[in-house]
Amino acid sequence: MRLLKPLLAAELRILPLTEALTTACLDEEALTDALFIQEVWPKNLFHNVNVLGCHFKKCNFAATSLWKASFLNTVFENCDFSNARWPECRFERVEFRSCKLLGTDFTAGLWRHVLLEEVNGEYANFTDGGIQTMLINRCEFPNASISDCSWKSLKLQHCNFTTCEMLHTSLKGIDLRTCQLSGIKLAGPELQGAIVTSLQAVELARFLGIVIDDTFSDQKENL
């Protein structure tokens, strides 16, 4: 899988976020080529936001609402998105590094060439998402929802999907061997073609209608 990295200018302008957003929205232009450090995203901004070539560092997006926004060539580093509602947003050549996505709503999002690395996404909602090239590395997604998603290129490495819901999301061809899958919630057909370890297969056998019973073999050994 070839993951395209964000393209950022060699030098980014350090700007106050609210002022820069207000100007961009009034001029109906994208927010471009800027570095934002420890800024707070305004809670009264709901839609019509286009971000291009920006780096957000230690910024707070918690409890914000944003609809159908577009982010291209953007980096989020150590940012907090806890309980934010961002449905139907588009992310292309975007990186989320060491961010909090606790309870974040990303339903019906479009993800193209996106990296999620060391992200805490407990209770996050990615339902109905469209994934076109994504790497998820060392992330925590217990109790999250990744149901009804479609994907073309997806790689998972050392992720925790404990009690995560993946209903109607095909895992065919996905290598899950380094991931935690205890208590995962799905119907069964989603697992067809997934790559798992023998120990994981025992955990997932219940979804395939397989009953594992060692009683007979134990009795035979005692004879």
As a whole number of angstroms, the distance between CA 148 and CA 197 comes to 24
Q: Which residues of 42-75 are buried (b: 16+ CB within 10 A; e: fewer)?
A: eeebeeebbbbbbbbbebbbbebebeebbbbbbb
Q: What is the pTM of this model?
A: 0.90
pLDDT band at 1 (very low <50, low <70, confident <90, very high): confident
Tens digit of each residue's pLDDT (9 = 90 or more) over 202-220: 888 877 665 556 676 555 5
Lowest mean pLDDT among 64-73, 160-169, 210-219: 210-219
Least confident of 99-113, 160-174, 185-199: 185-199
Map out the domains of the chain as residue ranges.
13-160
Q: What CATH number was assigned to the domain covering residues 13-160? A: 2.160.20.80
pLDDT for residue 216: 61
Q: What is the mean pLDDT of residues 69-95?
A: 97
- The per-residue pLDDT for 210 is 57
CB atoms closer than 10 angstroms to residue 138: 14
Q: Report helix, strand or coil for 30.
A: coil
Average pLDDT for residues 142-164, to the nearest whole number? Answer: 96
Q: Return left, alpha or beta for 46; rule: phi > 0 is left, psi -120 to 50 is alpha, else beta.
A: alpha
The CA distance from 25 to 29, in Å, is 6
Quick one: pLDDT band at residue 157, thresholds 50, 70, 90? Answer: very high
